[in-house]
A = this chain, B = another copy of it.
Amino acid sequence: MSKGIPIATIARLPVYLHGLRLLTDRGVSVVSSEELANLTAVRSTKLRKDLSYLGSYGVRGVGYDVSYLTHQISRAMGLTQNWAVVLIGIGNLGQALAGYGGFSSRGFQIKALLDADPKKIGSIVGGQSVLHIDQLERVFSENANSIAVLAVPESAAQGICDRVVGAGVTSILNFAPMVLQVPSSVELRKVDLSIELQILAFYEQRKLANSSALLNSV
């Protein structure tokens, strides 16, 4: 049943959840696939196909109940439970992440902030005190099944990653712009803030190239 949800679908479910939250805020209780698709910049057929992998939660001729669909997607994604997150690296990006509302609103609870810089230890960021990186193993042993979020400099990333894996963590989100090596049993995902910018540059370049080609052909 809900065994084989395609990876591409899973990546879109959070976007649908966001659209549903907007509708909830507006007091909308029922939505059609067409309307929700417009809010989330996908085609309605794709949305319906995606939802069909989770089950049949709509009503034909009517649409989807917003709160019921929200619950079903959340459940499918494992967001009905609270997730413990440990944030490592409290630089600019780490501070941004610590204060980012999108985490707590989705059930992610930041259990600890770790940094190696003695000047940062004890300072309050996002409502809690920064701990020294030496506490890493203790923090993870006290918070089983935590997700580690790495916002450390590139040069430190692999070393910290190894310690995190050694502490038994099986889910890591990496913001450092580098490829980390982990055992295959560990789920690792990466966010590189500059990759999307480079992709934009590619499209912008092509646009400029096309318009100058157009000029030449006139």
Footprint of B on A, CB under 8 Å?
10-11, 13-15, 17-19, 22, 39-41, 76-79, 81, 83, 85, 91-93, 95-97, 99-100, 102-103, 106-108, 145, 147, 149, 170-173, 177-179, 187, 189-208
Q: Verify A197–B99 contact, CB threshold 8 A.
A: no
Whole-angstrom distance between the Cβ of A172 and the nearest chain B Cβ: 8
Q: From A79, A102, A192, name the one whose CB has the most chain B CB atoms within 10 angstroms.
A: A102
Structural contact, B179 and A204, CB atoms closer than 8 A: no
Most chain B C-beta atoms within 10 Å of own C-beta, residue among A91, A95, A201: A201
In contact, A194 and B14 (Cβ under 8 angstroms): yes
**Contacting pair A19 B206 (CB below 8 A):** no
CA of A44 to CA of B166 in the docked complex: distance in angstroms? 29
A11 to chain B, nearest CB (A): 6
Q: How far in angstroms is the closest Cβ of chain B from A82? A: 10
Please name all residues of chain B whose beta carbon is closer than 8 Å to the beta carbon of A79 when the two chains form the complex. 198, 201
Please report the C-alpha to C-alpha distance between residue A107 and residue B195 in the assembled complex, in whole angstroms. Answer: 13
Q: Pick the contact of A194 from B99, B100, B192, B204 — CB < 8 Å?
A: B100
Whole-angstrom CA separation of A203 from B15 in the bound complex: 17
Task: Sample 17 A-B pairs with CB under 8 A, ordered by A number.
Answer: A11-B199, A14-B192, A14-B195, A14-B198, A14-B199, A15-B195, A40-B179, A77-B198, A77-B205, A81-B205, A92-B95, A92-B96, A103-B197, A108-B201, A171-B201, A171-B204, A172-B200
Report the minimal beta-carbon distance from A3 to chain B, rounded to whole angstroms: 9
Q: How far is the CB of A12 from chain B (nearest CB, A)?
A: 9
Determine if B199 and A189 form an interchain contact, defined as CB atoms under 8 angstroms apart.
Answer: yes
- Name the one of B99, B102, B195 contacting A192, with C-beta atoms under 8 angstroms: B102
The answer to whether A100 and B193 touch across the interface, beta carbons within 8 angstroms, is yes
A153 to B, closest residue via Cβ:
B101
A78 x B204 contact (CB < 8 A): yes
**Looking at the complex, which one of B19, B99, B108, B208 makes contact with A145 (CB distance below 8 Å)?**
B208
